[in-house]
Amino acid sequence: MQKYYYNNKPGILISTAAAGNDPLTSAAQNDNIIFGKIIFVDSETKEVITISKGHRNPQGLAVKENIILSTEHGPKGGDEINKIIYGKNYGWPISSYGVPYPDRNEKNLKFEKSHVNKGFQEPIYVFLSSVGISELIFLPNSFHSEWKDNVIVSSLNGRSLFRIKFSDTNYDKVLYIEKIFIGERIRDLKYSSNQNLIVLALEDTGVLGVLDIKE
């Protein structure tokens, strides 16, 4: 969840999962079901508004002014970073760059690779070798002079952080990704503005890690 303003009204963004759906009965594609969506809940009226749909298993959600980024577990080889745009459909379970897990309830699904050819929104980036993508945060430019317009993404199976450099503040294009190996499953990330450092929730040992880079 994240605090968010929609049409100048305060509320929260919530992402919901809908893994393993058959395309004909998919909750992610059903406008009457909140699963497989990113929704906005108005704090005052409690109205629920669907921002986007077609999501499999969102993991991380980050907001910077009017920009929303989300990470999402795909099937095997299909973890995604998405820029969330109001009214867009992100394709699950029709389009995915991953392949079905043979031992799960998605094994009989067949995916289109292209999203745009089906009228869906393409991911910003896809990890074709799944990393077990988890949280992501916008990193302020004050963190380090060489880490400007960066997003930090954490991973579970990958046991790494990924420093993602975007081309500009529209966050439409990834220029490069730097892998930073940590050695543990990373469940969550937070940036501390007071200390100017990144705090990592490490799942294997249950301790907090700290990433601090000096000029």
Q: Render pLDDT for 167-205 as a digit per residue (tens, 0 to 9).
A: 999 999 999 999 999 999 999 999 999 999 999 999 999
pTM beyond cutoff 0.75: yes
55-65 pLDDT, tens digit each: 999 999 999 99
Long-range contacts of 162-170 (CB under 8 A, 24+ apart): 162/131, 164/81, 164/125, 169/67, 170/67
Q: Compute the half-sphere exposure of residue 111: CA atoms within 13 Å on the CB side of its CA.
A: 25
Structural contact between residues 132 and 74, judged by C-beta atoms closer than 8 angstroms: no
Q: What is the pLDDT of residue 30?
A: 96
Query: How far is residue 75's CA from residue 79's CA, in Å, rounded to a whole number?
Result: 7
Q: What share of the chain is helix, strand, coil (3-state, %, to 5)?
A: 5, 45, 55
pLDDT tens sequence across 100-159: 988 777 778 899 999 999 999 999 999 999 999 999 999 999 999 999 899 999 999 999
Domains recognised in the chain with CATH numbers: 1-130 (2.120.10.30), 134-215 (no CATH)
